[in-house]
Chain A
């Protein structure tokens, strides 16, 4: 994996510069009344690797995540995706530029078939225009998308369920469908919001396998998670947040022994000296 290899020489410091980052964040703030929920000075999300965004409950991970993909409005700050401005851009436009997200509570479209869920995500479907929908030239796009959709469903072992309503799927199958659907949108950066939440251990393994496979195909992945075991096994880079700020960054090994991270998770004060040293 050349991409994670390139990270080997990057020092484990907060706000560190990385070679060819996919997402660059500067001075992002989000306030709820008097509470500063997100306050990130500088963060670069590396390309072609799995980056985990971790932190204890209430650290601002999901808020930060929602800001980045346009689902929430930042009070301050700028960020770029693939070198182009991404702050203040509507979520659907970011999705078309290749930044595709999933949700913590899966949003499968219940009264639509599994295949329709997939086809919805297909790009370049001319038939989605109001007037062009009436001219059947879109059928060619549909056939191409259909082939790709069935291919992806096969990969996630959902192809047998293609014609079932999505509501009939189990919780785990919905997670898989949401991931397959995100891929159908042809992303360069996949943003997964707690993909393993509420999933049984066997399925967690399968989901992890899918996520690493995506990385090996050259996609960049940013995912929010708070299960440390999951993070240590698959991520190439870890960003830890607490109280809205990025408090540590590094390879999993760097993070595992980081006293600031341990303190943030366990809330134990090891003495003022320990916290100071790492920064």
Chain B
């Protein structure tokens, strides 16, 4: 395998569905964490309800739009249910509550009594056929691209929808955070008491940010279900939340395009490392390679925090301002 093909595969992951779905999930987390300062460590819980909403719709023979509505509705309910009692808490307590809530959701989906609805530990499969996600695909079959960097028609269809959703979500977040509403969010991130003293109903703003961020996360979950055609509980674990945090911080927390840049960079680096490990002069088993690439990602994140803590797009001046 040549260097060129390693790079081609990495670019494929970065620009493909993986990059798109992570960018979408990170856009939701960025609103909560980057702009409002809410340490939500249960973001994966929102992805889970989005994915299961789609899967349950498929299982019951409902349409794809019902699937989106179910996922988004569930995310709003989850956001309110989780937010109303916890957003009064200080940051670190919120982190503990949200990480536990996401884990509870996963265990409930995985449990035997939930089998009729969620499929229990085996999950729900065959989504593509039931929902007909790929049926309206107008892209002719075959592969498009140069050399090793190529996408087939199904991949392009997934990418079109997911990147489209990323763009819509990003433009929505952009309009919101540049408005006076977004200014209040940033004020809450800096100092809640100051915002209160100036007449802002802090809990309501936090709740709005929490619910909208969660809804965008649920949308990412729904697309992941659509693309893979199957949903199983093993996927929605805490490390996925941490990966999305990595994307947000890598791109620059509290920046508009940071989640997109972060997601592309994340998958590019991850897959280049993967490609290199698989092509060394000695054999590295798949499991070892998987562990090593995550360890290297951790080292990379540490280096980033030391040398460029504001992320790729973040402003150093703003970062230093916060450190005072």
Task: Tell me the A residues contacting B by CB distance below 8 Å.
Answer: 69, 71, 90-93, 95-96, 100-103, 107-112, 116, 119-121, 123, 125, 127-130, 133-134, 138, 141-142, 165-168, 181-182, 185
Contacts and interface: CB of A to CB of B under 8 A. Distances in A.
Interface of B: 172, 175-176, 179-184, 186-187, 189-191, 193-202, 208, 317-318, 320-322, 324
A100 B198 contact: yes
Contacts of B320: 167
Contacts of B202: 92
Contacts of A111: 186, 189-190, 318, 321-322
A134 B178 CA distance: 10
Given A120-B183, A133-B179, 12 more contacts: A71-B197, A95-B197, A96-B199, A111-B318, A111-B322, A112-B186, A125-B180, A127-B180, A130-B176, A165-B321, A185-B198, A185-B199
Closest 5 CB pairs of A and B: A167-B321, A127-B180, A133-B179, A133-B181, A95-B199
Contacts of B201: 90, 92
Contact of B187 (A90, A91, A109): A109
Contacts of B322: 110-111, 167
Given A92-B200, A134-B176, A71 B193 contact: yes
A130 B187 contact: no
Query: Could you say which of B193, B194, B318 has the most chain A C-beta atoms within 10 Å of its C-beta?
Result: B194
A134 B198 contact: no
Given A110-B321, A165-B318, A165-B321, A101 B197 contact: yes
Contacts of B324: 110, 167
Nearest to A102: B197
Query: Could you say which of A107, A108, A129, A138 has the most chain B C-beta atoms within 10 Å of its C-beta?
Result: A107
A91 B197 contact: yes
A33 B66 CA distance: 55
Contact of B194 (A93, A103, A134): A103
Contacts of B181: 127-130, 133
A182 B200 CA distance: 13
Contacts of B190: 109-112
Contacts, number: 106
Given A110-B321, A111-B186, A167-B321, A133 B175 contact: yes
Contacts of A102: 197
Given A109-B194, A167-B321, A127 B179 contact: yes
A134 B193 contact: no
Nearest to A91: B196
10 contacts: A69-B197, A92-B198, A92-B202, A110-B322, A112-B186, A116-B183, A119-B183, A121-B199, A165-B317, A182-B197
A175 to B, nearest CB: 14
A138 B324 CA distance: 32
Contact of A133 (B182, B189, B195, B200): B182
Contacts of A95: 196-199
A130 B213 CA distance: 13
Given A107-B194, A138-B179, A142-B180, A168 B200 contact: no
A138 B208 CA distance: 19
B233 to A, nearest CB: 33
Contacts of A185: 198-199
A121 B198 contact: yes
A25 to B, nearest CB: 20
B197 A107 contact: yes
A185 B200 CA distance: 11
Contacts of B197: 69, 71, 91-92, 95, 100-103, 107, 182
Contacts of B176: 130, 133-134
B199 to A, nearest CB: 4
B314 to A, nearest CB: 11
A125 B199 CA distance: 12
A130 B202 CA distance: 13
Contacts of A121: 198-199
Contacts of B179: 127, 133-134, 138
Contacts of B196: 71, 91-92, 95
B228 to A, nearest CB: 33
Contacts of B186: 109, 111-112, 116
Contacts of B318: 111, 165
A123 B199 contact: yes
A110 B317 CA distance: 11
B195 to A, nearest CB: 7
A129 B187 CA distance: 15
A166 B317 CA distance: 12
A96 B183 CA distance: 18
Nearest to B192: A107
B195 A120 contact: yes
A119 B318 CA distance: 19
Query: Could you say which of A111, A123, A142 has the most chain B C-beta atoms within 10 Å of its C-beta?
Result: A111
